[in-house]
Structure formats: structure tokens, C-alpha cells
């Protein structure tokens, strides 16, 4: 090496190096954030997000490059050929838009990922080296080809990582802030590594020829700070807009979900109503037939010569009983419809169970049923209507009492348990009653199905409707050696959308 | 006609409807028996007395239609009155085609049901009477000798003894003996009487010789 043309001493301003790193990380964070927005958006909104995202990311990488360049202190004055600088910015924006486009598509196969990474990597390297080419100074720039190659490979490797991360984190559920921040840190570090490897490939050799300073501008430290601040502001604003959009998108999603739920509930209620109407037509008809027939019979007994008033009276009593049965059925339906829009609150199911047991206390006592509760103290809260859940528990308790009313050869025992369950919580109501007929196990939840002489077959049906309304399940199994187990699974409060 | 001998059977899964029907049918002095399912009814051995069946269409297990078909298959010809809470026209057509007396929608007018019950019992009484007559005639027919049974269709078809003798290849005198024997055994007072009996029994009448 000629001593007349020695390499220029270089040094770095570490504050500005740190600043360049900060910009790189911020830009990458914004990029990850925007990949989500681009993915979620459609039509024109998608183009706007893609463009905005590409500009933010492009400006970010570009700004990182120039901040890093200004961290470089040379013993000769430096200026930049601004048209080339603009070209480098354009390259940055174009490669960023391409990368965002690839990462936001529905699918990203290995070929997509690879070609996307190569184009993005070459773009970043292009930005870097065109930025270098914009330098105007009284020195010759020499490149170490091996290190240049390494920097390009690093740029492509960085792009692979960036695309995979962006693709992976674009789903709302996967993209937590710490995850995105971690991803941005890795990407920012990679981008910086690429830059400083590129810089290590450079040797500045003092030259006597004065630089061509046409279209060249010099950038002071104040200018650097300006670039950095403006960039950070752009990135910050992009993030802000993105988060606002996400919030409104989430609200829209929430709204749509709510509407879908209401619609679903309405449809299922209509479905139930159709079913119900057919059942009512038949089941109200039964007691009405009995009423009409009994009263006719009473009139006939009363009209005989001499009138048979005992028979007439008996027939009328039967008629009245059946008229009451009609009103019970209607009452049940009214209760059901009234409870169509319950008030949902986090509920401690143990309290509900204890309340229901307390309400049934008198019945339990007169029916000689012993109650035992095994309630797990820290069961998760469920979202529900306290009165409705109480109704369900009370229904199950009353059922158990009825099922045990004919039992004389063994203890009448009622056991109520609450427990945690992977889906939320599990409630069990066990009795030692007459058990379940295999053929009736599914029918007991049908409207108007009953095995009790005085039952109208509404209780279990309504209970199941309520439980299913909360996204839960209610079913029954025979219990060994006798009796039945009614089981409820309810989703815990934070699982309910 | 002894009303208390006639029985109305009721098959309905609704206890209240059954009891109410008992009230109503009792009030007109008919015997009534209640069943909660088709299976219970099938276990009851039916009496040889006029009776009818009030049958709900919708039953647990075997439906009313199933029971109607099983009774027909077992050759039990009890008149059936269907009652249903949610009947439609196809359902009633089906029931009537299969021989039901009536198809009533619940709730029905008491008089409508009682009228139909009377009709059904009347029909069953007539059926039983006809069946009894046929059975009696069959008994008489069974008492004939093979030759007399051979001669009977020719007599019924209005041929003279000589023509019959030619047709079956015997003498006129022999045919004359067979004829008087079979008239006596069948208890027929005249040729017209015998023709009516043969018709009831469904004896095939041979074509008259030219």
C-alpha cells in the first residue's frame, strides 16, 4: 500500500450508533405491526396500509442507514449526492412494500418466502450501497468483496427472518406486544449487523482529487438529529394509527360477533319455538280435551233423573285439575320467554348451589333427603344470570327429591359437587333414586317429557336451554349402583366471548 | 240390546284424557276399560261381545296406526275410533282407508264422540251377528256328505234334478235324495232360502248348462 494514499482513520460516535439501532428496531416493530393490519384489511384499505407500511418501513431502514453513516467520523468532510440518496430511499420503500405484500398474503410457501427474502435482502443491500455511492468526499472508496458478499447474505438472511416473523405474528392472537418487540429487536439487530458488516467492507483512501460536489449536500449532526427525530415521529405515528385501527377493527369484530350471537340465539329460539309450538299444540290439547270431556260428563251426570251429583262433582274436580295443568304449562312457557335476555354477570357457582339448597331446605327435610355438598373453593367464576342458574340448580335438586320419593330400602342421599374442569367448571348432582331408564336417558330433556305423575316435563328442558345458552352442557348418566348423576359443564367467565 | 254388555276400550297415554273419557262413557252407561299403551291393550283378551276401541294416534312405543295394523293382521275386527291432538288430512285419510270408523281431533264434542261410539258398537254388533250366522251355516255345511256338497252348487244354480244327474253322471233318483237331504241338513225352507245361504257362505256357483 502506498504511503501517499493511506487509509483514512475512521471512528464512530456511539450515541449515533445507538440511535441508528433504535431507529432500526422501531422500524421493524412498525413493520411487524403493519403486517397484521395489511393482513386484516381488504380492498382499498389494504392498499393504503400496504403503501403506508412500506413508506414507514422504507424510511425507517433508510434513516437507520444515514444515521449510522453519520455516526461514522472521517477526517475529511463528507457530502451526499441527494438524487442518489433519494434513489436509495426509493429502493428501501419498494423492497419494504414487496416484503409486506408477501408477508400479508393468505399463504406463504417456501418459494414465496425465499424469493421475497432475496428481493427484500437485495433491496436493503441496494439501499446501503446506493447510499454509499451518494457519498462525496476527498477519498476513494474501496470495497472488500468478501465482506460485501457477507453483508448481502446477511441482508437476505435478515429478510428471511423478518418475513417468517411477520407472517407468524400477523394473527391477532399470536401477536402480543412482547412477542412483536422481541421480533423487532432481532430484526433491528440483524439490519444493523448487515449495515456495519457493509461498513467493515469499506476502506476510505485519501485522494487528492476534489470531489464532484454538484447536487451534493452536507449533513451536519443537527441534520442527523433531524432525520432521526422525523423518522421516529413517522414511525410513532404509524404505530399510533395502526393501534387505533386495530382497536376499531376489534370493536367492529366484537360488534359483528355480538350480532352473530344474537342472530344465532334468535334462530335457535325460532327453531325451538317451531318445535315448541308443535309440542304445545299437542300438549295443551291434551288437558283441554280432558277438561272439555270431564265437564261434558259432569253435565250428563247432573242431567240424569235423578241427578248423580257425586259423579258430576268428581268429573268437575278432574276438569279443574286439568285446567290448572294448562295454566302451569303456559306459566312455564312464559317464564321461559321472560328469561330470554338475562343479565350476565360473573357468578360464584358455589353461592348459587348453597342458595338453591337453602331454598329447597323444606322440601329436603319433609322428603327425608340428606344433603351433602363438596364444593371446591376456588372454582372459576362463570358468566351468567344468578336467578337462571339458581333455577337450574333448584330444578335438579327437586328432580332428585322426586326420584327418591319412592325409595324406602336405602338412604335418600343428595350429593352436589363443584369442581374445576378444563372447559371451565363441572357441577354434579347425584341422587340415590330410582335412576334412569336407558331408553329415556335422552328423552328426559325433551319438552313435555315427564316420568312423574304430576310433572309437566318443562324443568329439565328449560334447565338445558339455560345451560346451553351459556355455552355449557347438561346431561345425565345412571349412577352405580343406583340413582342418577346430572352433570353441568359451564365455561369460565373469561372464556365466554 | 243390553248396553252394559258392550265395552268401550280406550288407549291413550295421557292419564287425564283417559280418566275424562271414563267419566263421559260411564255417564251413558257403557262399560269402559282404559289402557296407557298399545302393548297393554294387546295383552287384554277381547270378549265375544260388541265393543269398540278409542285409540290415540300418538302413543309411546307402538303408535295408534301400528296397533291398527297389528289388529288387522291378527284378524281382530274391532271398530276403531281415532282421536288425536294434531291430526291432519293425510293422517285421517290413512286411518279411514285402513278401516277406522271415525277420526276425531282433540278436543272433540262429547256428543260427536258418543254418536260415533254408538255407530261403532252397532257396526260391531252387526259384524258379530253376520259372523255368527256364517259360522252356523259353516257348521251345517260341514255336516253334508261329500256327494251332497258336490250337488249343492248345481241345485243353487237352478238346474233340474235330471240336468244335475247328467252333469255329475248319476241317476235322477239319486240326485233327488241328495237334494232333500242337503235341504234338511242346511235347514233351508225353500230353494230361495238355500240360495241366500250359499251366497252368505260364498259357495261358488257353476255356470248353467245350455
pLDDT 10s digits, A395-410: 899 889 888 988 888 8
- In a 10 Å sphere around its CB, with 0-12 CB exposed, 13-18 middle and 19+ buried, how is residue A96 labelled? buried
pLDDT of residue B1: 43
pLDDT of residue A159: 83
Read off the pLDDT of residues B34-47 as tens digits, 9 standing for 90 and up: 999 898 999 988 88
Selecting from B20, B58, B108 the residue whose C-beta is nearest the C-beta of A294 gives B20
Angle at B35 between CA B32 and CA B40, to 5 degrees: 130
Mean pLDDT of chain A: 80
Helix (H, G, I), strand (E, B) or coil at B203: coil
Model confidence at A172, pLDDT cuts 50, 70, 90, reads: low
Helices (H), B74-109: 89-97
8 Å CB contact of A285 and B23 = no
pLDDT of residue A265: 54
Torsion of CA A288, A292, A298, A304, to 10 degrees: -160
pLDDT of residue B118: 95
Helix (H, G, I), strand (E, B) or coil at A347: strand
pLDDT at B210 over 50: no
Which residues does chain A have within 8 Å of residue B15's beta carbon, measured at their own beta carbons?
453
Residue keyed to cell 352442557:
A473
Asked whether the beta carbons of A449 and A443 are under 8 A apart, the reply is yes
Torsion of CA B199, B142, B126, B56, to 10 degrees: -110
pLDDT of residue B55: 95
pLDDT at A263 over 80: no
- Chain A residue with the nearest C-alpha to that of B25: A297
Selecting from B15, B21, B106 the residue whose C-beta is nearest the C-beta of A285 gives B106
pLDDT of residue A266: 52
Model confidence at B208, pLDDT cuts 50, 70, 90, reads: low
Mean pLDDT for the stretch of residues B21-36? 92
Read off the pLDDT of residues A314-362 as tens digits, 9 standing for 90 and up: 999 989 988 888 887 777 667 666 555 556 788 899 999 988 888 777 7
- In a 10 Å sphere around its CB, with 0-12 CB exposed, 13-18 middle and 19+ buried, how is residue A434 labelled? middle
Model confidence at B207, pLDDT cuts 50, 70, 90, reads: low
Mean pLDDT for the stretch of residues A27-36? 78
8 Å CB contact of A294 and B17 = no
Mean pLDDT of chain B: 88
Q: How far apart are CA A465 and CA A198, in angstroms?
A: 68
Q: Answer whether the bond into residue A397 is a cis peptide, omega within 30°.
A: no
Torsion of CA A437, A443, A445, A446, to 10 degrees: -150
pLDDT at A280 over 70: no
Q: How far apart are CA A248 and CA A250, in angstroms?
A: 5
8 Å CB contact of A285 and B28 = no
Least-confidence region, from A222-226, A322-326, A389-393, B111-115: A222-226
Asked if A285 has any chain B CB less than 8 Å from its own CB, the reply is yes
Q: How far apart are CA A21 and CA A19, in angstroms?
A: 5
8 Å CB contact of A289 and B20 = yes
pLDDT at A368 over 70: yes
- Chain A residue with the nearest C-alpha to that of B106: A289
8 Å CB contact of B24 and A290 = no
Give, as one character, the DSSP assignment of residue A493. Answer: G
Q: How many CB atoms lie within 10 A of CB B16?
A: 20
8 Å CB contact of A293 and B24 = yes
Q: How far apart are CA A296 and CA A316, in angstroms?
A: 9
Asked whether the beta carbons of A61 and A190 are under 8 A apart, the reply is no
More confident residue, A389 or A43: A389
pLDDT of residue A496: 47
**How far is the first Cα of chain B from the last one, in angstroms, to the nearest whole number?**
50
Q: How many CB atoms lie within 10 A of CB B141?
A: 19
Selecting from A286, A311, A318 the residue whose C-beta is nearest the C-beta of B14 gives A286
Strands (E), chain B: 7-11, 31-35, 51-56, 80-84, 102-105
Asked whether the beta carbons of B191 and B208 are under 8 A apart, the reply is no
Q: How far apart are CA A209 and CA A137, in angstroms?
A: 9
Q: How many CB atoms lie within 10 A of CB A460?
A: 23
The ipTM is: 0.70
- Chain B residue with the nearest C-alpha to that of A307: B27
Model confidence at B107, pLDDT cuts 50, 70, 90, reads: confident
Selecting from A278, A289, A321 the residue whose C-beta is nearest the C-beta of B17 gives A289
> Is pTM, for the whole model, over 0.80?
no
Smallest CA–CA separation between A405 and chain B, in Å? 21
Asked if A339 has any chain B CB less than 8 Å from its own CB, the reply is no
Model confidence at A48, pLDDT cuts 50, 70, 90, reads: confident
Q: How far apart are CA B77 and CA B49, in angstroms?
A: 12
pLDDT of residue A262: 58
Read off the pLDDT of residues A471-487 as tens digits, 9 standing for 90 and up: 888 999 888 888 999 99
pLDDT at B83 over 50: yes
Amino acid at each position: 500500500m502506498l504511503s501517499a494514499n493511506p487509509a483514512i482513520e475512521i471512528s464512530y460516535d456511539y450515541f449515533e450508533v445507538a440511535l441508528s439501532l433504535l431507529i432500526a428496531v422501531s422500524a421493524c416493530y412498525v413493520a411487524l405491526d403493519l403486517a397484521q393490519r395489511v393482513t386484516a384489511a381488504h380492498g382499498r384499505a389494504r392498499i393504503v396500509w400496504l403503501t403506508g407500511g412500506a413508506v414507514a418501513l422504507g424510511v425507517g431502514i433508510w434513516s437507520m442507514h444515514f444515521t449510522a453513516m453519520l455516526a461514522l467520523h472521517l477526517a475529511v468532510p463528507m457530502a451526499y449526492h441527494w438524487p442518489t440518496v433519494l434513489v436509495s430511499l426509493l429502493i428501501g420503500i419498494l423492497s419494504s412494500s414487496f416484503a409486506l405484500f408477501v408477508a400479508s398474503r393468505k399463504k406463504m410457501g417456501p418459494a414465496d418466502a425465499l424469493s421475497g427474502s432475496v428481493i427484500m435482502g437485495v433491496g436493503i443491500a441496494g439501499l446501503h450501497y446506493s447510499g454509499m455511492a451518494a457519498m462525496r468526499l476527498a477519498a476513494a472508496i474501496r470495497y472488500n468483496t468478501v465482506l460485501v458478499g457477507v453483508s448481502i447474505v446477511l441482508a437476505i438472511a435478515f429478510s428471511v427472518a423478518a418475513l417468517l416473523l411477520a407472517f407468524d405474528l400477523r394473527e391477532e392472537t399470536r401477536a402480543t406486544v412482547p412477542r412483536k418487540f422481541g421480533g423487532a429487536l432481532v430484526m433491528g439487530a440483524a439490519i444493523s449487523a448487515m449495515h456495519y458488516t457493509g461498513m467493515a467492507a469499506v476502506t476510505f483512501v485519501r485522494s487528492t482529487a476534489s470531489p464532484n460536489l454538484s447536487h451534493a449536500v452536507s449533513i451536519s449532526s443537527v441534520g442527523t438529529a433531524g432525520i432521526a427525530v422525523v423518522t421516529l415521529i413517522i414511525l410513532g405515528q404509524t404505530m399510533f394509527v395502526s393501534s387505533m385501527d386495530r382497536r376499531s377493527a376489534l370493536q367492529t369484530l366484537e360488534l359483528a360477533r355480538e350480532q352473530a350471537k344474537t342472530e344465532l340465539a334468535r334462530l335457535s329460539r325460532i327453531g325451538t319455538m317451531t318445535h315448541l309450538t308443535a309440542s304445545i299444540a299437542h300438549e295443551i290439547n291434551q288437558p283441554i280435551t280432558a277438561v272439555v270431556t270431564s265437564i261434558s260428563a259432569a253435565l250428563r251426570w247432573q242431567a240424569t233423573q235423578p241427578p248423580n251429583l257425586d259423579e258430576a262433582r268428581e268429573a268437575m274436580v278432574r276438569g279443574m285439575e286439568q285446567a290448572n295443568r294448562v295454566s302451569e304449562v303456559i306459566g312455564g312457557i312464559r317464564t321461559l320467554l321472560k328469561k330470554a335476555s338475562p343479565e350476565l354477570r360473573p357468578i360464584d357457582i358455589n353461592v348459587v348451589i348453597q342458595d338453591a339448597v337453602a331454598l329447597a331446605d323444606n322440601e329436603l327435610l319433609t322428603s327425608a333427603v340428606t344433603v351433602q355438598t363438596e364444593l371446591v373453593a376456588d372454582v372459576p367464576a362463570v358468566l351468567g344470570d344468578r336467578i337462571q342458574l339458581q333455577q337450574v340448580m333448584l330444578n335438579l335438586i327437586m328432580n332428585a327429591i322426586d326420584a327418591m320419593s319412592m325409595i324406602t330400602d336405602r338412604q335418600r342421599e343428595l350429593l352436589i359437587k363443584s369442581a374445576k374442569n378444563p372447559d371451565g367448571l363441572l357441577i354434579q348432582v347425584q341422587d340415590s333414586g330410582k335412576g334412569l331408564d336407558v331408553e329415556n336417558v335422552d328423552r328426559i330433556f325433551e319438552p313435555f317429557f315427564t316420568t312423574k305423575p304430576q310433572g309437566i316435563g318443562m324443568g329439565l328442558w328449560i334447565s338445558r336451554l339455560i345451560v346451553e345458552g351459556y355455552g355449557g352442557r347438561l346431561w345425565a348418566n345412571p349412577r352405580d349402583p343406583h340413582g342418577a348423576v346430572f352433570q353441568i359443564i359451564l365455561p369460565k367467565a373469561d372464556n365466554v366471548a | 240390546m243390553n248396553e252394559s254388555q258392550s265395552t268401550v276400550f280406550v288407549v291413550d297415554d295421557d292419564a287425564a284424557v283417559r280418566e275424562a273419557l271414563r267419566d263421559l262413557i260411564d255417564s251413558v252407561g257403557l262399560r269402559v276399560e282404559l289402557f296407557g299403551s298399545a302393548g297393554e291393550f294387546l295383552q287384554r283378551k277381547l270378549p265375544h261381545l260388541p265393543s269398540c276401541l278409542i285409540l290415540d294416534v300418538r302413543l309411546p312405543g307402538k303408535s295408534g296406526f301400528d296397533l291398527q295394523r297389528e289388529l288387522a293382521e291378527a284378524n281382530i275386527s274391532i271398530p276403531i275410533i281415532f282421536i288425536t291432538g294434531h291430526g291432519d288430512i293425510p293422517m285421517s285419510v290413512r286411518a279411514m282407508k285402513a278401516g277406522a270408523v271415525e277420526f276425531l281431533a282433540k278436543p272433540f264434542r262429547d256428543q260427536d264422540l258418543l254418536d260415533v261410539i254408538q255407530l261403532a258398537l252397532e257396526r260391531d254388533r252387526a259384524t258379530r251377528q253376520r259372523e255368527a250366522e256364517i259360522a252356523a251355516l259353516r257348521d251345517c255345511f260341514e255336516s253334508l256328505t261329500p256327494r251332497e256338497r258336490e250337488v249343492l252348487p248345481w241345485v243353487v244354480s237352478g238346474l233340474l234334478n235330471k240336468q244335475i244327474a247328467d252333469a255329475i253322471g248319476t241317476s235322477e233318483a239319486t240326485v233327488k235324495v241328495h237334494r232333500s237331504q242337503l235341504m234338511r241338513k242346511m235347514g233351508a225352507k225353500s230353494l230361495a232360502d238355500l240360495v241366500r245361504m250359499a251366497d252368505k257362505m260364498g259357495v261358488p256357483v257353476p255356470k248353467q248348462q245350455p
